Structure 1
């Protein structure tokens, strides 16, 4: 344990208790005594008498120590529950230092600081009432009447207060109350506070992890003094937390979640859930603050699911990117109507269905491919089973059972209704669709060597085409407000009506945007989700993802790009790169995109509803 005080010379206090490892050898002094020889027979006799008297006193002292030890042993032996408490109260019980937790760059995220625990041996308290009165004056949060009662009635060791401050320690020690003992203790500290709360979790008063990484890695942190390095980047974590919090406040949303993940390694550089809590005061947090919306919460994601529907179609080879599909006629199935909020005047090709977010077109694609292909594809991406991550707060998806996964479910799942997944799942499932087709395993723990390349899930050509489509969705489609000068951002918006009871609400929604950058050689996915945002004057009353979640990701990308050694690209260079990026779609498809002449922003008319 480290001392509270520096290494400079200070005067030792004779009244200070000896706490090995915490305060050093305080309370001990040494002095040189000059030896002298008797100068006369009288002095020699006096010196001899003193020596004999010292021997007698030493004998009585030894007798007293042995008798006291025996009485103490008998007293302890009569109560089988006290020995461990008394051992802890002796001041010499070993304190197990909990290892530090660091971010990927070595910044401190969690550490333990030495503190003191105050205990009372009630058998040694002389005046219970006086002792209680004095203690209550130094520790106002203690109940004086209850203290007095316990001191008088209980004949055992009791814990009075954990983690005394230095000021409290010195004040109580100065009182000189018989029966009080100070025991070395340890307190867990989180320098970033709320910002990392849902990843790190927290410990109880005994420094035992009970949430987040603190719980999952509890044994390792207790037994191994070496720090644990996470994949988090506290700089990115702070930016994501700040921008998400600002959006929640401006749009009066109920909460939100966000992730930033490396699409090649699965390393999570940032994970935020709001509202959050102070890990130093987790016991006072509300349930909704403790709930991890990024990993434990599952939601119907709306049109972000069109990423998987489109990739499935392209990878199957059954539907070509330029193939025209009927998007004019409303679909009626299972007593419900599938429609597009923005009416189209012509049949759309596969690329247009994705970029302009057509529910009708997505449903017809899923209908053509069939239920079994949809099931198999979503299973391969890990969207139908509980994901793995190194924290305990993980939610499993809500998927239709086999008897209920029929034609209707197949159509609605194509545009993100009828299946609920977590933010973690949708990010992990998208990575293979943009990283040349390889599976990745999300992780929060940094390893010395990069993970091996996962198995191939989709063809490289499918991944190339999906990157191009996601870029076009930002340039021409519903996600234009995610555009960042100098960065070729791609992505897909999603606005899902919330299911309230057995009906979908027309006024409450989940809005999200999954962003990818740079789309030419994707490195990162940035995902933002808002729970029931409200339209404002700034969004022209719209609360869809193109107006709410997409701008959040754009702001984040503009700030984290330079930090990740991805400087912005010159405009003329970007145009050339973009032409090469969209080449897998074919020139005819790319040239076919035109800006809507009536509404200057598709973001305002994103189509994600089913009624």
Structure 2
């Protein structure tokens, strides 16, 4: 029998679809095809003079083995709400596409994963090449400013910089080689903490430039960049980080504000679990069977994680993420705006906007990443992805069906 997908478009990019033979061709259907499909059986029949089939019990037969059920960690109510607000945000910003990932930062369970464009899994006539697209796992981008907390974590952990150290911010304009780096919020001097709050490219280029290349790239690898997270969805990409022996001084400084490496949204969300989870990074999981075997690794010291969490709360309270602020809810998060590389240069019109946040900051239960590909209404994350994040959070707090996720 043909599959019928009860939740339709809301889970289309996650569950995926099968072909006419009921073999998985995308998503979980493809990745877990051997578990879902089972094994065919067989029996021998004789045909009588009238052409009718008669079972032959003298010859061997093998009963079929049914495929196994797979339970997901997805909360369908959060999935539907995330799907609604992502689609609404994409239409308002006239974006090319995007995704929302919501996960439990304590155990890695994926609570929602939405990728747009969506498709109708129950209507194969409407399918096109987008059925293979899941922005959460197979879209690569340069993270921009959302990488700054990770760079800060490395610098603080290695005692290469301190939160209160004062850096020259060059009044918002800084020349590296023949490339001028600018800050949206010009300042003459900034501490590391202030550089996160106001998202200073200039200060983070200096911090990244201080870290020995081998250490910088080794630590980025520990945070999961440059390798798959191993989530059970077909088509996951590994992204890339530079090799230490090929890294120029300029490239190293650019890494400080999120350029020169490629990541997937699921990698970025996973990296932030180390900050939300007292320095322990957890591996994202989308099936309950796999979530029983939680994989985790201590990436940074608890004190470092707590300090970074305090900084990210200030980003939301009065920094670049202030539009995220919700009275009575303590949120920690970071915005990111990155130019896309196109036709041999960084585009002035094509951008990736992202926001990663977790809440409640004092005891995080949910981490949410929102990413938009080429929004047209604004180039700033505060005007594009932040409203989507905020609407999802308000829905969680205001819905009895979703508020249990915070317990």
Alignment TM-score, normalising by the size of structure 1: 0.59
**Residue of structure 2 equivalent to 1:547:** 383
SS of alignment partner, residue 271 of structure 1: strand
Q: Distance in 2 between matches of 1:360 and 1:211?
A: 42
Matched-pair contact (CA < 8 Å) for 2:15–2:27: yes
**Residue of structure 2 equivalent to 1:560:** 396
2:162 to 320, 332, 335: 320
**Residue of structure 2 equivalent to 1:188:** 3
CA change 1:274–1:354 in 2 (3 A) is: same
Matched-pair contact (CA < 8 Å) for 1:498–1:504: yes
**Residue of structure 1 equivalent to 2:264:** 422
Please list, as runs of the form range in 1=range in 2, the aligned pairs for 1:149-228 lying within 5 A after superposition: 186-223=1-38, 224-228=66-70
Q: Distance in 1 between matches of 2:111 and 2:405?
A: 15
Residues 333-342 or 366-375, more deviating: 333-342
Matched-pair contact (CA < 8 Å) for 2:214–2:244: no
Post-superposition shift, 1:515? 1.1
Q: Distance in 1 between matches of 2:98 and 2:374?
A: 9
Q: Distance in 1 between matches of 2:326 and 2:190?
A: 28
Post-superposition shift, 1:552? 0.9
Matched-pair contact (CA < 8 Å) for 1:438–1:453: no
Q: Distance in 2 between matches of 1:226 and 1:508?
A: 44
Q: Distance in 2 between matches of 1:323 and 1:553?
A: 32
Matched-pair contact (CA < 8 Å) for 2:177–2:250: yes
SS of alignment partner, residue 21 of structure 2: coil
Matched-pair contact (CA < 8 Å) for 1:260–1:269: yes
Post-superposition shift, 1:567? 6.9
Matched-pair contact (CA < 8 Å) for 1:498–1:505: yes
2:183 to 326, 332, 340: 340
**Residue of structure 1 equivalent to 2:63:** none
Comparing both chains, which one has the higher relative contact order based on Cα–Cα distances under 8 Å and sequence gaps of 6 or more?
Answer: 2
Structure 2: tracts of 5 or more residues without a match: 39-65
1:109-132 deviation line (CA, Å, top 9, x unaligned):
xxxxxxxxxxxxxxxxxxxxxxxx
Q: Distance in 1 between matches of 2:239 and 2:9?
A: 27
Q: Distance in 2 between matches of 1:422 and 1:321?
A: 28
SS of alignment partner, residue 347 of structure 2: strand
CA change 1:238–1:376 in 2 (3 A) is: same
Post-superposition shift, 1:430? 1.1
Please list, as runs of the form range in 1=range in 2, the aligned pairs for 1:127-142 lying within 5 A after superposition: none
Post-superposition shift, 1:377? 1.0
Larger radius of gyration: 1
**Residue of structure 2 equivalent to 1:81:** none
CA change 1:365–1:267 in 2 (3 A) is: same
Post-superposition shift, 1:226? 4.6
2:349 to 487, 507, 516: 507
Please list, as runs of the form range in 1=range in 2, the aligned pairs for 1:326-405 lying within 5 A after superposition: 326-328=168-170, 330-344=173-187, 346-405=188-247
SS of alignment partner, residue 305 of structure 1: helix
CA change 1:549–1:222 in 2 (3 A) is: same
**Residue of structure 2 equivalent to 1:250:** 92
Structure 1: tracts of 5 or more residues without a match: 1-185, 536-541, 569-611
**Residue of structure 2 equivalent to 1:440:** 282
Post-superposition shift, 1:276? 1.7
1:167-210 deviation line (CA, Å, top 9, x unaligned):
xxxxxxxxxxxxxxxxxxx1100111111011100011121111
Matched-pair contact (CA < 8 Å) for 1:325–1:361: yes
For the pair 1:472 / 2:314, whether they are aligned, the reply is yes
Alignment TM-score, normalising by the size of structure 2: 0.88
SS of alignment partner, residue 170 of structure 2: coil
**Residue of structure 2 equivalent to 1:145:** none
Post-superposition shift, 1:307? 1.5
Please list, as runs of the form range in 1=range in 2, the aligned pairs for 1:22-33 lying within 5 A after superposition: none
**Residue of structure 2 equivalent to 1:309:** 151
SS of alignment partner, residue 220 of structure 1: helix
1:340-385 deviation line (CA, Å, top 9, x unaligned):
13321x3100110001000001001111223222101101111122
Post-superposition shift, 1:544? 0.3
Please list, as runs of the form range in 1=range in 2, the aligned pairs for 1:530-545 lying within 5 A after superposition: 530-535=372-377, 542-545=378-381
SS of alignment partner, residue 3 of structure 2: strand
CA change 1:425–1:241 in 2 (3 A) is: same
**Residue of structure 1 equivalent to 2:60:** none
Q: Distance in 2 between matches of 1:399 and 1:201?
A: 29
Matched-pair contact (CA < 8 Å) for 1:371–1:407: no
Post-superposition shift, 1:447? 3.1
1:111-158 deviation line (CA, Å, top 9, x unaligned):
xxxxxxxxxxxxxxxxxxxxxxxxxxxxxxxxxxxxxxxxxxxxxxxx
1:382-407 deviation line (CA, Å, top 9, x unaligned):
11223311011201213334443222
Q: Distance in 1 between matches of 2:185 and 2:318?
A: 15
Q: Distance in 1 between matches of 2:357 and 2:92?
A: 21
Post-superposition shift, 1:530? 0.8
**Residue of structure 1 equivalent to 2:106:** 264
